[in-house]
Amino acid sequence: MSIPQSPLASNSPARSLLIGSGFVLAYATMLMVGDLFYFEPENITIHWPASGLLVAGLLISQYRIWPVLLVLSLILHVVVDVSLHEDPFELVLYNGTTNVLEALFGAWLVRRYSSDRVDMGNLRNVLALIILAGLVSTALGSFSGAAIAVQFGASSYWVAWYQWWFSHALGVLVIAPSILACRSSTRSQLGSHGRFPMGELSALFVVLVAIAQLVFGSSLLPGFLLIEFPYLVFPPMIWAASVSYT
């Protein structure tokens, strides 16, 4: 007698649909979070978490899924950007295409020079993610991003280049390792860490976002709430990095 397959089996359409819906929701959320750090006239954010989510999504997916993720990401980028800003469509499409190709190149480099199963338990994988996806691909993408930013009002090409590179590198280095590390752990492990339970992880994320808003500012906050001390973001990041998962 054959055993009926679970609707959420690894190769079932229901599971694929569930994962795809989760990616769409997560990527749209990351786009809106990144918009909180958006400023003019450079038309560039100072933190772009969507880049890290897309890199991680590509790294944990099979190659045949990559075109689907890339097309979904580009469509979401255009829809969210058009709904939040009155930027010219050419600018939105160009930025979205640059973001997608940058993440694609970074994920391909990591897959090319590390193991097929990218996790954070291997030093080679960690270095490949940091150097190739976090620094190299974002630096190359910044040349294209800065060029279009200058064309649409940025004051300096190299200032725009640095801001694009910093925001996307920060997104990859903060978001992608977190997703890959969580994927490497089983659900039971995530719920049973004595020193770092999920409640503490959630609280740390909220604190880090709140401090980033107070330091770097946003249109949602009045000026008197802003703090001109960027190094304030380091304590929670050091706290997260120093906690053991054993």
Beta-bridge partner residues of 39: 44
Per-residue pLDDT of 183-194, as tens digits, reads 766 444 544 444
Predicted confidence band of residue 4 (pLDDT cuts 50, 70, 90)? very low
- Which residue from 155, 36, 151 is spatially nearest to 87, judged by alpha carbons? 151
Number of H helices, E strands in the chain: 10, 2
Rounded to two decimals, the pTM is 0.73
DSSP state of 195: S
Res. 204 pLDDT band, cuts 50 70 90: confident
- Tell me if 145 sits within 8 A of 98, measured CB to CB: yes
Query: Which of residues 103 and 159 earns the better pLDDT score?
Result: 103
Does residue 76 contact residue 24 with C-beta atoms inside 8 Å? yes
Which phi-psi region, left, alpha or beta, contains residue 43 (left: φ > 0; alpha: ψ -120 to 50)? left
- Measured CA to CA in angstroms, residue 12 lies from 63, 66, 67, 204, 225 at distances of 18, 18, 19, 35, 49
- C-beta neighbour count of 65 within 10 angstroms: 16
Question: What is d(CA 7, CA 1) in angstroms, rounded to the nearest whole number?
Answer: 18
- What are the structure tokens assigned to 69, written together? 């993720």
Q: Write the DSSP symbol of residue 122.
A: S
| 97-117 pLDDT tens trace | 999 999 999 999 999 988 767
Per the DSSP assignment, residues forming a β-bridge with 45 are: 38
